[in-house]
Structure 1
């Protein structure tokens, strides 16, 4: 039987979704370096040229994966901050915990979202920039709200405070991912320390 008859049939949109899901699985298994469009095609069971109809090269694929990571985090953060039955401090605690948990459980994705592979090479696509750049602005906006609610110091500049608070939880995430001076058994205590450092009881 000819090869093209053994390949699966996908609708155009379905294949892109399938490729992205398979790419994330491959990346988790073999890292960013172990991911290629050829391996992706083999894993999904399509022709070697099929992925190129959706991603012109590996960089575009990686940017699409990173964009999904940012979109997932934005959705999760919105869900946490919408829990109005919780106090502002409790919501911030959950925000910090979920950020660090997400990073520690998805290290390859986190590296792709915030690491050198895309950003150092200045190869981010417009689609990725459109979801990644607002990520920090979102943090600044939330910092202003926390200041207005009286749980963060109002005298601090919101931009600098956002940089310091995000820098702290990002640093903890990196320590966990890299296995330096911290492991997952320390997450609860580290998160509580972050909350105690930055959040004031009303």
Structure 2
């Protein structure tokens, strides 16, 4: 008996493929994902996914791209969400948002920054563009906070951005890899991270603002 295949609008199918692929990775890891398995789970022909992704590598890159877009959206909302916060407290909200994203979507986060794409795979040109754009948003954010004297004016903005991002990324890796398993400590660790970054590169008095 021939199994009925679902029909999708072109754009809807792409989103469904990405969402389902992410679910497969979450449940069994990247190695369990294949185009054939994805098509079967979505309920379309095994050639349908190839209209959107030429191979598994391109599919993984698309998941990572989607992750960068979601992360960027979350970051851009912070100033509007907390318009009255002092710079240090605003910085803390970014730290929390970044870590929460990594913890809530660990599979996507791993693809965004992991070796599966950047070391052993081949990042697509569109992924390279969006990843650089995402980091540029962080650099601009650091520049804005630097203008508010949160960071040392003598330190290059790019270096502050690189160092602070490295600290956040390392913290996310510790959480996601299971070294820190108590999520209740998240806010306290975020507060300490902000204090350390400000004291290292900025005005120590700023770290004493109410966080």
User: 2:13: which partner in 1?
Assistant: 15
Q: CA deviation at 1:187?
A: 1.2
Q: CA deviation at 1:12?
A: 1.5
Equivalences for 1:21-60 in 2 at 5 Å? 21-60=19-58
Could you tell me whether the CA contact under 8 Å between 1:89 and 1:151 is conserved in 2? yes
SS at match of 2:30: coil
**Superposed CA RMSD:** 1.6
Q: Which moved more, 1:124-133 or 1:70-79?
A: 124-133
The CA distance in 1 between the partners of 2:160 and 2:177, in whole Å, is 25
The CA distance in 1 between the partners of 2:104 and 2:12, in whole Å, is 27
Could you tell me whether the CA contact under 8 Å between 2:64 and 2:108 is conserved in 1? yes
Q: CA deviation at 1:122?
A: 5.5
Unaligned runs of 5+ residues in structure 2 are none
User: 1:137: which partner in 2?
Assistant: 136
The CA distance in 1 between the partners of 2:119 and 2:80, in whole Å, is 34
Q: CA deviation at 1:181?
A: 5.1
User: 2:96: which partner in 1?
Assistant: 97
Q: What is the total number of aligned residue pairs between the two structures?
A: 200
Could you tell me whether the CA contact under 8 Å between 1:37 and 1:51 is conserved in 2? yes
Q: Which moved more, 1:83-92 or 1:9-18?
A: 83-92
The CA distance in 2 between the partners of 1:144 and 1:192, in whole Å, is 20
Q: Which moved more, 1:150-159 or 1:181-190?
A: 181-190
Q: CA deviation at 1:99?
A: 0.7
User: 1:82: which partner in 2?
Assistant: 80
Q: CA deviation at 1:87?
A: 2.5
The CA distance in 1 between the partners of 2:182 and 2:34, in whole Å, is 30
SS at match of 1:151: coil
SS at match of 2:40: helix
Q: Which moved more, 1:107-116 or 1:20-29?
A: 20-29
Could you tell me whether the CA contact under 8 Å between 2:57 and 2:121 is conserved in 1? no
SS at match of 1:71: helix
Unaligned runs of 5+ residues in structure 1 are none
The CA distance in 2 between the partners of 1:20 and 1:33, in whole Å, is 16
The alignment status of 1:171 with 2:144, answered yes or no, reads no
Q: CA deviation at 1:105?
A: 2.1
Q: Which moved more, 1:176-185 or 1:71-80?
A: 176-185
Q: CA deviation at 1:88?
A: 2.2
TM-score, structure 2 normalization: 0.88
- Cα 1:22–1:181 change in 2 (3 A) is closer
User: 1:61: which partner in 2?
Assistant: 59
